[in-house]
């Protein structure tokens, strides 16, 4: 355990006072420091106090500013599997952080699909006993929201073992495990996520002022907050809790399923979905901890309308830009494009929010520097917004990172729409990221392709792979102008892949507005 040692030094600090030396929660036993970077170590001491940080036989010193904050930068270090001691000394106090490794550190953020634990993923009975990776560590942040910037968070580092793995983020763990096995270095994963949260909550307040829709939503929340009655809300919750307890008692007696525990209503300004509240409490405290990059699994909470889904592309870029400003670099960012979900596709195309938010991810992938997506259109579940195959999600994120960040000679992901060309009564579609070639998964003809003419009426189309292209046609469309692929909530039969087993991203070649009838 991190030890705070008070050393009485009467000759230095006097009989009546001791320095108040503290480190952020991130700097605690089991931590992983980022290799090959000048790593920041910071904390708080008496204003003006001299602070010395020692690690791996080297020392760095700094003076605390007038608020008591200090920061030093450890010089670049190679990866190390040796558990070492980080020691911080100021006046008569010292803080020791034990079992510190040096390797690759990643921030893992988003909503419930990032928060979902390994114990809820596929094959946990096999994953648990195999999870003996003491060089993989995960910092689990507690869930906190705040209208004000916070200087620290609460949480702790866990060393990966069969006993601890159950509570790890599944997506983050499977991502980190792949990196650890391929790079052969320690891996630190900072899990800072909260289920059901919108991207606006993870972005700095000032950066959101440029978006009228966000400002309008915030104004509505503020209006509700002004009318919120804390006492009345407490009384209402107490009544609901009493009714809930009675229902639980009855369900036990009847052997039926217990009802869900009622949630206490919050003042909207204190909500985890109030703009910037999670950035304030769960991102700002992490800055500028040394890390290689970030992975992101969120978007479901911003897919309740096509307008929200289309805006998401700019909101995602804005968040990434702001985080990069905080950390002072263009760190890599990898996001999960939303999976297939809800009722299976029944129309040639279905203009839904989930289809449009996948396009927002795709445009982000194409247009934002040092940022990519993992395509997961084949691993979803019709009736479960939390797909259990997190192994595939983590693996695909890791393949992107291994190829793009670590420059490994591997295929990063699946086919990405590049361009189209009309040729007679067909449209020829070209792709990037085809790996060693395009294939029809399962040997079946390509499905979920749709074609439209100038009338914008899509019909089911025939599609065949010709070399590195897909040729799309339909006897019902003599003069085609647009192609769409897997354009629906749940295009369960989409089967365009590359030979390495990565699915193609859903796409459209047109820019037509969403149609209310979903066709």
130-183: pLDDT as tens digits: 999 999 999 999 999 999 999 999 999 999 999 999 999 999 999 999 999 999
pLDDT tens profile 282-340: 999 999 999 999 999 999 999 999 999 999 999 999 999 999 999 999 999 999 999 99
Given this model, what pLDDT does residue 408 score? 98
Query: Does residue 136 form part of some domain?
Result: yes
What are the phi and psi torsion angles at 93 (to 5°)?
-120, 155
Q: Is 357 inside a domain boundary? A: yes
| Residue that is written with structure tokens 């995960």 in the block | 138
The two three-digit tokens of residue 164, written as one number: 């601890």
Cis amide leading into 145 (omega within 30): no
Whether residue 65 is contained in a domain is answered as no
> What is the rounded (10 degree) CA torsion for 312, 318, 320, 326?
-150
Assign 41 a pLDDT band (cuts: 50, 70, 90): very high
Contact predicate 412/395, CB 8 Å: no
Once rounded to an integer, what is the mean pLDDT over residues 266-278?
95
Domain assignment present for 430: yes
DSSP state of 475: T
Q: What secondary structure, in 3-state letters, does 411-425 show?
A: CCCCCEEEEEEEECC
Per-residue confidence (pLDDT) for residue 252, from 0 to 100: 86
Kindly write down the DSSP assignment for every residue of 177-197, as one continuous string. HHHHHHH-S-EEEEEEE-TT-
Q: Which of 157, 186, 191 lies closest to 173 in space, CA to CA? A: 191
Q: Same structural domain for residues 203 and 174?
A: yes
Name which of 303, 312, 430 is nearest 355 in CA terms: 303
CA distance 66 to 52: 17
Given a cut of 60, whether residue 14 has pLDDT beyond it is no
Residue 384 and residue 493 in one domain: no
H/E run at residue 226:
helix 212-227
CA distance 479 to 403: 40
Question: Do residues 504 and 439 both lie within one domain?
Answer: yes
Beta strands 93-110 and 496-498, pairing class: unpaired
Scanning the structure block, which residue is given the tokens 């040692």?
5
Q: What pairs with residue 4 in β-bridges?
A: 95
C-alpha distance from residue 356 to each of 12, 83, 468, 489 (Å): 65, 47, 26, 9
Which residues on neighbouring strands pair with residue 384, listed in sequence order? 381
- pLDDT, residue 17, reads 39
Residues facing 439 on adjacent strands: 497
Claim to verify: residue 198 and residue 310 sit in the same structural domain: yes
Cα–Cα distance for residue pair 239/233, rounded to 1 Å: 10
Of 371, 388, 413, the residue at which a domain comes to its end is 413
**Distance of alpha carbon 46 from alpha carbon 91, whole angstroms:** 9
Least confidently predicted of 41-50, 163-172, 259-268: 259-268
**Cα–Cα distance for residue pair 348/518, rounded to 1 Å:** 9
Report the CATH number that the domain containing residue 168 is assigned in CATH.
3.40.50.1110
Q: Is 375 helix (H, G, I), strand (E, B) or coil?
A: coil
Q: How many domains does the chain have?
A: 2
Establish if 188 belongs to a structural domain. Answer: yes
148 three-class SS:
coil
Question: DSSP secondary-structure letter at 415?
Answer: -
Contact 106, 294 (CB under 8 A): yes
**Any alpha helices (H) in 191-328, and if so which ranges?**
212-227, 230-254, 277-278, 306-327
d(CA 27, CA 24): 6
324 domain residue, yes or no: yes
For residue 216, the SS3 value is helix
The vertex-498 CA angle with 183 and 368, nearest 5°, equals: 65
Instruction: Please identify, among 384, 413, 442, the residue that sits at the C-terminal boundary of a domain.
Output: 413
Q: Which helix (H) or strand (E) holds 258?
A: none
* pLDDT(260) > 60: yes
Supply φ then ψ for residue 402, to 5 degrees. -60, -40
Q: What residues pair up with 72 in beta bridges, in sequence order?
A: 41
**Which residues, in sequence order, are CB contacts of 249 under 8 Å at separation 6+?**
none
Structure tokens given for 234? 């407490």
Beta-strand ranges (E) seen in 317-380 are 333-336, 371-374
Is the domain of 501 the same as that of 384? no
504 and 381 in a common domain: no
| Domain extent at residue 114 | 103-229+274-413
Q: What is the pLDDT of residue 516?
A: 57
Contact 446, 495 (CB under 8 A): yes
Share of the chain above pLDDT 70, in %: 96
Residue 235 has what pLDDT? 84
Q: pTM higher than 0.75 for the full model?
A: yes
How buried is residue 34: exposed, middle or buried, by Cβ count under 10 Å (0-12/13-18/19+)? buried
Residue 5 lies in a domain: no
Instruction: Please state the rounded mean pLDDT for residues 22-43.
Output: 98
pLDDT-derived band of residue 5, with 50, 70 and 90 as boundaries? very low
Are 472 and 340 found together in one domain?
no
The first and second tokens of residue 203, run together, are 């972005």
- CA 159 to chain CA centroid, Å, is 21
Chain Cα centroid distance, residue 518: 29
Asked which of 146-150, 364-368, 514-518 is least confident by mean pLDDT, the reply is 514-518
Between helix 390-404 and helix 170-183 the angle, nearest 10°, is 40
347 shares its domain with 460: no
Residues 145 and 205 in one domain: yes
* 261 found inside a domain: no
Average pLDDT, the chain: 94
* Secondary structure element (H or E) that encloses residue 469, with its range: strand 469-473
The residue-averaged pLDDT of 336-354 equals 97
Q: 413, 431, 452 — which closes off a domain? A: 413
Taking alpha carbons only, the member of 139, 233, 245 closest to residue 192 is 139
Please give the biggest Cα pair distance in the chain: 94
Same-domain status, 357 and 449: no
Is 287 found in the same domain as 190? yes
Residues 320 and 406 in one domain: yes
- Tens of pLDDT, residue by residue over 75-113, are 999 999 999 999 999 999 999 999 999 999 999 999 999
Distances (CA, A) of 359 to 79, 207, 338, 433, 517: 38, 23, 10, 17, 19
CB contact at 8 A, 327 and 289? no
């Amino acid at each position: 355990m991190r030890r705070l040692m008070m050393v009485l030094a009467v000759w230095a600090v006097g009989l009546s006072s001791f320095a108040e030396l503290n480190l952020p929660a991130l700097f605690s036993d089991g931590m992983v420091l980022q290799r090959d970077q000048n790593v920041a170590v910071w904390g708080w001491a008496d204003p003006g106090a001299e602070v010395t940080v020692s690690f791996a036989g080297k020392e760095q010193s700094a003076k605390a500013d007038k608020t008591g904050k200090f920061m030093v930068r450890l010089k670049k270090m190679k990866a190390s599997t040796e558990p070492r001691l980080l020691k911080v000394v100021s006046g008569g106090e010292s803080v020791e952080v034990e079992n510190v490794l040096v390797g690759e550190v990643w921030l893992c953020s988003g909503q419930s699909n990032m928060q979902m634990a390994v114990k809820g993923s596929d094959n946990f009975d096999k994953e648990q006993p195999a999870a003996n990776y003491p060089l993989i560590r995960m910092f689990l942040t507690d869930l906190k929201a705040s209208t004000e910037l916070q200087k620290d968070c609460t949480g702790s580092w866990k060393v990966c073992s069969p006993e601890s793995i159950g509570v790890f983020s599944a997506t983050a763990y499977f991502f980190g495990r792949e990196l650890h096995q391929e790079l052969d270095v320690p891996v630190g994963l900072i899990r800072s996520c909260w289920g059901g949260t919108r991207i606006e909550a993870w972005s700095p307040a000032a950066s959101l002022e440029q978006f009228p829709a966000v400002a309008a939503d915030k104004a509505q929340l503020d209006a509700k907050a002004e009318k919120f009655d804390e006492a009345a809300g407490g009384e209402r919750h107490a009544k609901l809790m009493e009714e809930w307890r009675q229902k639980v008692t009855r369900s036990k007696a009847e052997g039926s399923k217990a009802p869900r525990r009622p949630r206490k209503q919050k003042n909207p300004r204190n909500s985890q979905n109030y703009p910037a509240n999670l950035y304030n409490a769960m991102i700002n405290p992490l800055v500028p901890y040394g890390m290689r990059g970030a992975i992101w699994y969120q978007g479901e909470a911003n897919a309740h309308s096509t307008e929200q889904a289309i805006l998401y592309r700019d909101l995602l870029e804005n968040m990434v830009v702001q985080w990069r400003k905080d950390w002072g670099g263009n760190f890599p960012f990898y996001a999960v494009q939303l999976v297939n979900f809800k009722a299976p596709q029944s129309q040639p195309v279905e203009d839904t929010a989930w289809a449009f938010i996948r396009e927002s991810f795709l445009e982000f992938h194409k247009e934002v520097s040092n940022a990519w997506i993992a395509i997961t259109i084949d691993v979803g579940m019709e009736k479960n917004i939390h797909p259990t195959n997190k192994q595939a999600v983590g693996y695909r994120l890791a393949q992107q990172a291994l190829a793009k960040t670590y420059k490994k000679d591997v295929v990063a992901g699946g086919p990405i729409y590049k361009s189209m060309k009309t040729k007679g009564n067909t449209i020829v579609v070209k792709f990037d990221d085809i790996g060693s070639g395009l294939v029809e998964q399962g040997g079946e003809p390509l499905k979920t392709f749709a074609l439209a003419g100038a009338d914008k009426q899509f019909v089911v189309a025939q599609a065949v792979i010709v070399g590195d292209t897909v040729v799309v046609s339909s006897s019902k469309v003599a003069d085609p102008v647009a192609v769409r692929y897997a354009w629906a909530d749940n295009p369960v039969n989409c089967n365009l892949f590359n030979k390495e087993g990565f699915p193609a991203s859903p796409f459209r070649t047109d820019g037509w507005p969403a149609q209310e009838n979903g066709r």
